[in-house]
Structure 1
Amino acid sequence: MDSISTAILLLLLALVCLLLTLSSRDKRKLPPGPRPLPLLGNLLLLRSQNMLTSLTQLSKEYGSVYTVHLGPRRVVVLSGYQAVKEALVDQGEEFSGRGDYPVFLNFTKGNGIVFSNGDRWKVLRRFSIQILRNFGMGKRSIEERILEEGSFLLAELRKTEGEPFDPTFVLSRSVSNIICSVLFGSRFDYDDERLLTIIRLINDNFQIMSSPWGEMYICPSLMDWLSGRHRRIFRNFSELWVFISEQIQQHWQMRQPAEPRDFIDCLTRWQQQDPESHFQEETSVMMTHLFFGDTETTSTTLCYGFLILLKYTEVAAKVQELDPVVGWRRAPSPDDPERLPYTNAVLLQIQRFISVVPLGLLCTLPLDIHLHGHCLAKGAH
């Protein structure tokens, strides 16, 4: 073995030792879990196509609070109702820190509602909730926009004339249009290339991030050197960024500060009133950008709802209690749910039955916390 090969081997051994040392540091503060491998962690134990099942199986061996290593990153997993309630409800403030997803952090840089932390997150969240709750601003409320889009959706469904069809894409267009109406103040025709591009980019990113390429991006220092589908995520993000930036610029030029028409109008007004605040251009774009995540989750929930009702036809028949309450001459109103107990129960059961985001969002701890007899150190995920 020549000197170069010997040096490389020694370097690799030193790296492995360093990784093992780092992985065992503060181990006494972490819940138990499977022993990790260098670099890979516990990835070989987790099936990428069904990680939820893999994590549930591990909880049977290590308990409702345990530790896994996703590559070099240590993550504490909460499994089961009691553990999740104790953390996210009973100690909600202590678990309010947002963890960093490398695939999102690469693009968001910590901006927006979902991936910001501290005072910025509190300000942006309070602002967004206030606007969405009081969206009676201007001339149209969210309810009116939803009902309007519902009529366009029904017209599109009638075009099938009773023939079998895949509702996935038309539902995505309908949900995306509602979000566009709230954000931009107007909807798009279902064949509008701008709307189709938004849906294509969002669907493509969700599919990639659910694939092994997306899941392996927990090691960005390695993945950034490799070619593969994961690189398309950032190209898609960039295309959406350009589209949203153009919409914001158009709103800025046509704004009427006294009469905000939509969410972007409110963002630009706050930015104008306090240019040194958290409402910078990058944050405004990112807040708008991440609202489009609702397109995928909402349309997926609707599709699963249809599948469940197709399977349980007796339930679908009982949901027709809508007919005598709402009738055929008007659209549903916010007052109707009180008179539709069975339909309400079915909607809640559908949301319980499926799991659109089974692993939730990564949290980080702003201070040391005790949970289920374990001491979780500040900064733990």
Structure 2
Amino acid sequence: MELSSFLVLVLVLAVLVLIRWIRKPSGRSLPPGPLALPLIGNLPMIDKRAPFKSFMQWSKTYGPVMTVYLGPQRMVVLVGYDTVKEALVDQADDFAPRGPIPFLNRVVKGYGLIVSNGERWRQLRRFTLTTLRDFGMGRKRMERWIQEESKHLLKSFEETRSKPVDPVFFMSRAVSNVICSLVFGQRFDYDDKSFLHLLQIISRLVRFVSSPWGQEKDNLDTEFHKNNLMATVLNLFVAGTETTSTTLRYALMLLIKHPHIQGQMQREIDRVIGRNRVPTMEDKKSLPFTDAVIHEVQRFLDIVPLNIPHYAMKDITFRGYVIPKDTVIIPMLHSVLRDEVQWETPWTFNPEHFLDANGNFKKNPAFIPFSAGKRSCVGESLARMELFLFIVSLLQRFSFSSPQGPDGIDPSPELSSFANMPRFYKLIASPR
């Protein structure tokens, strides 16, 4: 019995030492956080379906800078607008590196823009931004592509003849075709088999782009090679299609849920544009309520609540703490888009968040659905243009409803792990 008691005591002491070692590596002052268990860390305590909810709850006890362990992996979670802004903008160089994303690393093997760091990331980001601008992103050429695609999207809804349909397919085809126009210089018919052979088209693009860049082929240090090109194009398609099409689908869901908001947008659009003229980005300044609703859709959707992980490539001093090298950093976008100091009613869908007392559009610095700092989304200007032109075009021509009525719409996300994914639903597009 005495031997058993002694072994238990030794085991307890060993566990306490291990916990202390995990919590304070090399004696450094880590941010506080919930007690982590050996090997498994805080995993048993985290809401697996919505991890950000656990982080938000813990921040009430441990503050806006916390240490959390997912298994043996140490993470520092940043909560609230002031904290996230201080890290990503004020200390941009320290917090710029990207953290490991297992499923992406498995697919792209460290290549491409999203997961790369250091010189590779700097070269690819500069090249990607320059090339996208040359191809028309943020310019009239891109606006014309989106306007053209809007016509096909409207036609596809007309063909439903007011029957209930799932909007997923409609939105993804339209948004993907904009990316195709950007990357390949052409769109594809919605029933074109080329859509199903996207990899073959990417292969041709690789051969085409390899020709002018071939004069780099003997440079062993260059980042302009096939692996990086393929991975970066994949980044564009995955990020540029899924996030924007999901936001569009969610926008229609919320407008069905709040028909008075949909009606007010339509009255503003009718007054400024009418029902026949093709909307332009120039109309945006004359549609403050519509613009406010689109911004509020993005805020309320909160599509990537945890943000894409960042990483400490060296020891970082932040707010009196030391974030050790090799720590994953989570600047929570959810905590910014729901910051109770920055938003009057953060948990309510409320376009008034973006309107002043006179009904004019007003900006809010805490609106950062595309993140902030050196790792902000390279496709932000494209996404903003798509959201505005597609939504205005749709509301010009159709009123949207649900077969079950507004009460049949549940805007709460179906999945809330890496991304907030809205539930599937059916809508009716009734010509106006």
Task: Give the TM-score taking structure 1 as reference length.
Answer: 0.74
Whole-angstrom CA distance in 2 between matches of 1:272 and 1:311: 54
Whole-angstrom CA distance in 1 between matches of 2:149 and 2:287: 22
1:273 aligned partner, one-letter code: Q
User: What residue number does 2:314 align with?
Assistant: 367
User: What residue number does 2:345 align with?
Assistant: none
Partner of residue 352 from structure 1, selected from 278, 296, 299: 299
Alignment RMSD: 2.6
Q: 1:62-114 CA deviation, whole Å, 9 max, x = no partner?
A: 11110111111010001111111111111112210111112222222221011
1:282 aligned partner, one-letter code: N
Contact 1:16 1:38 (8 Å CA) reproduced = yes
User: What residue number does 2:213 align with?
Assistant: 271
User: What residue number does 2:371 align with?
Assistant: none
Is the counterpart of residue 338 in structure 1 residue 285 in structure 2?
Answer: yes
User: What residue number does 1:185 align with?
Assistant: 185
2:121 aligned partner, one-letter code: W
Partner of residue 230 from structure 2, selected from 285, 306, 314: 285
Q: Helix, strand or coil: the match of 1:160?
A: coil
Contact 1:29 1:377 (8 Å CA) reproduced = no
1:278 aligned partner, one-letter code: E
User: What residue number does 1:91 align with?
Assistant: 91
Is the counterpart of residue 250 in structure 1 residue 241 in structure 2?
Answer: no
Pair 1:301–1:323, CA change in 2 (3 A)? same
User: What residue number does 1:326 align with?
Assistant: 273
| Identity %, equivalent residues | 41
Whole-angstrom CA distance in 2 between matches of 1:108 and 1:175: 23
Tell me the CA shift for residue 314 of structure 1: 1.8
Is the counterpart of residue 53 in structure 1 residue 53 in structure 2?
Answer: yes
Structure 1 gaps, min length 5: 1-11, 199-242, 256-264
Pair 1:372–1:326, CA change in 2 (3 A)? same
Contact 2:206 2:229 (8 Å CA) reproduced = no
Structure 2 gaps, min length 5: 1-10, 329-432
Q: Helix, strand or coil: the match of 1:107?
A: helix
Aligned residues: 309
Deviates more, 1:110-119 or 1:316-325: 316-325
Pair 1:154–1:99, CA change in 2 (3 A)? same
Contact 1:172 1:296 (8 Å CA) reproduced = yes
Q: 1:199-249 CA deviation, whole Å, 9 max, x = no partner?
A: xxxxxxxxxxxxxxxxxxxxxxxxxxxxxxxxxxxxxxxxxxxx53x3244
Whole-angstrom CA distance in 1 between matches of 2:226 and 2:43: 38
Q: 1:142-167 CA deviation, whole Å, 9 max, x = no partner?
A: 22221111111111001111222221
Whole-angstrom CA distance in 2 between matches of 1:92 and 1:115: 17
Is the counterpart of residue 155 in structure 1 residue 155 in structure 2?
Answer: yes
Partner of residue 299 from structure 1, selected from 240, 245, 248: 245
Pair 1:136–1:83, CA change in 2 (3 A)? closer
Pair 1:27–1:295, CA change in 2 (3 A)? farther
Pair 1:159–1:49, CA change in 2 (3 A)? same
Q: Helix, strand or coil: the match of 1:183?
A: helix
Tell me the CA shift for residue 378 of structure 1: 2.9
Q: Helix, strand or coil: the match of 1:75?
A: strand
Pair 1:325–1:273, CA change in 2 (3 A)? farther
Contact 2:269 2:287 (8 Å CA) reproduced = yes
Q: Helix, strand or coil: the match of 2:322?
A: strand
Q: Helix, strand or coil: the match of 1:358?
A: coil
Q: Helix, strand or coil: the match of 1:66?
A: strand
Q: Which has the higher helix share?
A: 1
Tell me the CA shift for residue 116 of structure 1: 0.6
Deviates more, 1:103-112 or 1:88-97: 103-112
Contact 2:111 2:227 (8 Å CA) reproduced = yes
Q: Helix, strand or coil: the match of 2:50?
A: helix
Whole-angstrom CA distance in 1 between matches of 2:15 and 2:260: 59
Tell me the CA shift for residue 372 of structure 1: 2.3
Contact 2:33 2:67 (8 Å CA) reproduced = yes
Tell me the CA shift for residue 328 of structure 1: 2.9
Task: Give the TM-score taking structure 2 as reference length.
Answer: 0.66
Q: Helix, strand or coil: the match of 2:115?
A: coil
Whole-angstrom CA distance in 1 between matches of 2:234 and 2:37: 37
Higher RCO (CA-CA < 8 Å; seq separation 6+)? 2
1:70 aligned partner, one-letter code: L
Pair 1:33–1:193, CA change in 2 (3 A)? farther
